[in-house]
A and B are shown apart, each in its own frame.
Chain A
Amino acid sequence: MEKIGKQTIKFTNLPTIVDTASIVGPKEAEGPLAKYFDKCLEDEFWGEKSWEKAESKILKETVYSVIKKSTLPISSIDYCFAGDLLNQCISSSFGLRDSNIPFIGIFGACSTFVEGLGLGSIFIDGNAANNVICAASSHFCSAEKQFRFPLELGNQRPQSSQWTVTGAGAAILSSSGTGPFITHFTPGRIIDMGIKDANNMGAAMAPAALDTLITHLTDTGRKPSYYDAIITGDLGHVGKEILIELAKTKGYNIKSNYNDCGVLIFDKNKQDTHAGGSGCACCGTVFSGYLFNMLQSKKYKKILLIATGALMNSTSTQQGESIPGIAHAVSIEI
């Protein structure tokens, strides 16, 4: 592997995505992508006593499910990169504490899934691993409890607010296989354009997505049309519109092949999710379910997956800080 341009890593021994798995909650199961997910839960507790325990179970079962689908023995998994949104990433660590897989906990807010894919690819290309798992989870109820208000509170969600996806996505990367391959990884810079409204994450993260998109295209010398699809993680309806317009001002027309996981996962009109989906699982499940299916069936041959994250917590919001955004991109080709 080598660094090209300003901040892009180009892989030489291309890591293959062997298989993916996804588990989603009931609300996601009512959405337009339901048929692509491996398992749809009937209730958000999944037999557990708390939202946090439920989220851990979702992550754990997703990881076990991807191992099973890949038919690799569990002992051949060298490392697991996983992360989530709960304080100190307890969903991932508690979910995987009995797995015996060496665990590398990562945090990139909602960009965690792609951060994992990128880091896993570096391990594989650098011969530090043969097989790694990358996983990420989020849960609407645990996220509301931690970041916003108790679920029983009778408040109105603003129109720009997004709905945290309940679920988990996991992918196994391997040094040998027939594709799809991860060809490039562009880790993003932290970009803060001063947005303070925690109910408008799409607007807070769109400038970071723009920065990573342009840097990736400049570093690789590609045009947006090189990709069959450019997909962002969870900008939602508001952030998607903003990114299209911002990209246009910089001379990039992405309107025809660009979409967002948060826009794809819910039906805005039927499901009353306002500005669309968000959370680590938004990008994680849409990639592991829908996009991986599109790559396997060769409907998409080249995609650029840009996961976006808002690097804030409830304390920083209360202290009046603005919301720094980040976006990591991986280029995936068959």
Chain B
Amino acid sequence: MSNIDWSTVFEWSTLLKCFIVGGLICVIGQILIDKTKLTSARILVTFVTAGVILGGLGIYKYLVDFAGAGATVPLTGFGYNLAKGAIEGVKTSGFLGAFTGGIKNAAGGIAAAIFFGYIASLIAKPKMKKQ
């Protein structure tokens, strides 16, 4: 780790942009929760689909360039990643790529969530919610 330049890792302007954009995307979600009574599953679906559409239209890319993880960590970023993969897939392998590209790009996240979910079920026990 000694060869890492920590000043580029903790570059404050990048982190600030990421913090603000990521926070604002979550605020949109919070307003949806409080104003529309949508369940959390519907909120997640809305964000992923919005990310796919904005990604497909080429709009979301600008947000990713500007805010980095502030745009890729929210679920809209997951959707963007799927759309980007599908388009890249089409570019490299045509029609088939529309089917393989999206998941290929998001494979790490999906596989990790399933794997850790299974591991968690082996070690953890259901617990009471206190509040």
Contacts and interface: CB of A to CB of B under 8 A. Distances in A.
Asked if A and B form a direct contact in the complex, defined as CB atoms under 8 angstroms apart, the reply is yes
Interface of A: 26-27, 43-44, 51, 140-141, 144, 149-153, 155-156, 158, 197, 199, 272
B33 interface: yes
B131 interface: yes
B126 A152 contact: yes
A158 B126 contact: no
A151 B127 CA distance: 7
A44 B37 contact: no
A44 B33 CA distance: 30
Contacts of B130: 27
Interface in B75-131: 124, 126-131
A272 B131 contact: yes
A155 B37 contact: no
B40 A155 contact: yes
A43 B40 CA distance: 28
A197 B37 contact: yes
Contacts of B33: 156
A140 B33 CA distance: 23
Interface of B is mostly: loop
Interface in B51-72: none
A327 B76 CA distance: 46
A140 B37 CA distance: 22
A328 B124 CA distance: 42
Contact of B126 (A141, A149, A272): A141
Contacts of B40: 149, 153, 155
A156 B128 CA distance: 15
Contacts of A197: 37
A236 B94 CA distance: 59
A151 B128 contact: yes
Contacts of A140: 128-129
B26 to A, nearest CB: 13
A149 B129 CA distance: 11
Nearest to B120: A152
Given A151-B126, A199-B37, 20 more contacts: A27-B128, A27-B130, A43-B128, A44-B128, A51-B126, A140-B128, A140-B129, A141-B126, A141-B128, A144-B129, A149-B40, A150-B126, A151-B127, A151-B129, A152-B126, A152-B127, A153-B40, A155-B40, A158-B37, A197-B37
28 contacts: A26-B128, A27-B128, A27-B130, A43-B128, A44-B128, A51-B126, A140-B128, A140-B129, A141-B126, A141-B128, A144-B129, A149-B40, A150-B126, A151-B126, A151-B127, A151-B128, A151-B129, A152-B124, A152-B126, A152-B127, A153-B40, A155-B39, A155-B40, A156-B33, A158-B37, A197-B37, A199-B37, A272-B131
B30 to A, nearest CB: 9
A149 B33 CA distance: 15
Nearest to B129: A151
Contacts of B37: 158, 197, 199
A156 B129 CA distance: 12
B91 to A, nearest CB: 38
Contacts of A158: 37
